[in-house]
Structure 1
């Protein structure tokens, strides 16, 4: 509750110049309309008032551009879970469990999926309802080009339907190649939230998983 009150107070202070500018301009207009005879002194006062209101409005607009609103998080539509394929060597199971735990606890990621050799090896975090992968254009491109794809804001991206094995309302996604046999995907509930440090961390873990899987499936 205190955090909500503090957030509300900060929002009010941030919008104060905008409110004052609009209110001042409105009152000046009303005053002008109800004044039957306009004196020179009043005209000068009105002009000064209009300039001050315009400056308040401009200050509010510039403040919003300099300090944009931070991306808003959403509650992902899914259940938390941890699924690991049974017929994996213990070494691989341990590494995938360790790697997914590190990603979920050290980055903004809320869901991790590892797909290799036409099988889902691991799903962890907030899970979607679909348990099968139909390889779409993006995943196919990542595997063929061996280059990662960073989708930092999925809200307006029509191709997000490809990722129906994640919660429906994921906000951002990273898809990394695992050799030429699969991908590791991580998803978040906040748009534009993956920092360069997050990306480097996830890339490093993905490279380690790729090496381990290559040795196992060689």
Structure 2
């Protein structure tokens, strides 16, 4: 909890005024009505200053310290991505790593990892219960302190000791996973930014998947008996 400098000044003035009023009362040779009225007014003003200082006070949460994660920084990108999609993934992952508290960005789409950037993990990531629930509900899941969640083994492929994880759905077929440097590190604005990029990315991935679909899959939608 922190108090702004201006609020501290007002608090000191209120305490000083209240103390002087009490001291004046105690040292006065006689308590005549005019002195009592002045003391009451002085006390009221001092108390008002104290109330202003208390109302001015803000609760400023201390940013949690970054956990010293082990791992090497790198970039793994699926080699068969087309140029526009690879450029989109490169730009988006760079922004997430620089503009948010993310230490690692991982994208899993249709059974394989298309992107892993930042601190690289030690194995192949496979979505589990948490990721499946995320895609089923279509809502992001923020694990603010990973060690408190029983399903944390799902993210064992990410850097060891990762304190926080954010799972963002990409439609029904993929997830965007962010690992944070510290517990409770992802803010409301971070969640909004990630959600916006995920929506754009889902459309781009769906477009690429449709272009790469075999011709047989497209023709199979024709009505039976034609031709």
Same-fold call, TM > 0.5? yes
Q: 1:91 aligns with which of 73, 81, 84?
A: 84
Q: Which sections of structure 1, spanning at least 5 residues, go unmatched?
A: 1-65
Structure 2 residue runs without a partner (length 5+): 1-58, 211-227
SS class of match (1:150): strand
Alignment RMSD? 1.4
- Return the alpha-carbon distance in structure 1 between the equivalents of residues 129 and 89 of structure 2: 25
Larger Rg: 2
Partner of 1:107: 100
CA distance in 1: counterparts of 2:131 and 2:198, whole angstroms: 15
**Structural mapping, 1:1-218, within 5 Å:** 70-130=63-123, 132-218=124-210
Counterparts of 1:178 and 1:67, CA distance in 2: 34
- Cα distance in structure 2, aligned partners of 1:155 and 1:207: 29
The answer as to whether partners of 1:77 and 1:128 remain within 8 angstroms in 2 is: no
Aligned to 2:9: none
The Cα shift of 1:69 comes to 5.2
CA 1:75 to 1:117, structure 2 compared with 1: closer, same or farther past 3 Å?
A: same
TM, length-normalised to structure 2 = 0.64
SS at match of 2:148: coil
Aligned length: 152
- Do 2:125 and 2:158's aligned partners in 1 also have CA atoms closer than 8 Å? no
- What is the Cα deviation at residue 87 of structure 1? 0.7
Contact 2:73–2:118 (CA under 8 A) maintained in structure 1: yes
TM-score normalised by L of structure 1: 0.66
8 A contact 2:101–2:186 mirrored in 1? yes
Hey, what's the Cα distance between the residues in 1 that align with 2:102 and 2:157?
Answer: 15
4+ long deviations beyond 4 Å:
66-69
